[in-house]
A = this chain, B = another copy of it.
Amino acid sequence: MVDVKSVANPLFLREEELRQAIEMLFFAYRDFTGGPDGMLAEIGLGRAHHRVIYFVGRNPGITVSELLKILRITKQSLSRVLSHLVEEEYITQTPGERDRRQRLLTLTVKGVELERRLTADQRERIADAFRKAGADAVQGFKLVLHGIIDAPDRDQFDVSGGPTHLPAARSGGKLVGSKIAGGKR
């Protein structure tokens, strides 16, 4: 009974380690979304609104169908949330120039303000965790998360290890936060 640790079956170790990861992911995500959820509730919005505001803020001028692909929900589902955000003037819709069927989505000043407040909470949490864990750990964190994400979407993330580089991701006014731009799905 004493030597369990040293004699332990490596398969069991692995199982234990994987379960630990599963649980950490669960708790981390729960706490990660907890902050914004509170703020949103105060102004009568929900997590779904947050997601829309986030990705529109990240990709100004994004089309509805691009947004749908990122969120992986139906247009009817998005519609409820989006039209509310438009009514409340967090988001504006402008017809596409090249294709006038499109409604390009952009945050209003009010929308940017809210986005900033919501994301600040999450950024702070992540920044604290990064600071405590150190640069190497951050790199490992990204590498593992990268591997967890399904192939089509993970490619958008630079995980090469060097300092994060910038406008590459934004070049040509194309999408960030989604690999839709130029890629078939």
Interface, chain A (partner B; CB < 8 A): 4-5, 8, 12-32, 34, 51, 54, 58, 72, 119, 122-123, 125-130, 132-134, 136-150, 153-154, 157-158, 163-167, 177
Identical chains bound together, number: 2
Decide if A137 touches B143 in the complex (CB within 8 Å). Answer: yes
Q: How far is the CB of A81 from chain B (nearest CB, A)?
A: 16
Q: A4-B167, A123-B18, A153-B27 are in contact. Are A137 and B133 (CB under 8 A)?
A: no
**Which of chain B's residues have a CB closer than 8 A to the CB of A142?**
20-21, 24
Residues in B whose Cβ lies below 8 Å from that of A32: 25, 148
Q: Which B residue's beta carbon lies closest to that of A162? A: B5
Task: Tell me the smallest distance from the CB of A71 to a CB of chain B, in Å.
Answer: 9
Q: In the complex, which residues of chain B have a beta carbon less than 8 angstroms from the beta carbon of A127?
A: 14, 18
The chain B residue with its CB closest to the CB of A139 is: B140
Q: How far is the CA of A125 from the CA of B38 in the complex (A)?
A: 31
Chain B residues whose CB sits within 8 angstroms of the CB of A141 once the complex forms: 21, 137, 140-141, 143-145
**Contact: A147 with B164, CB < 8 Å?**
no
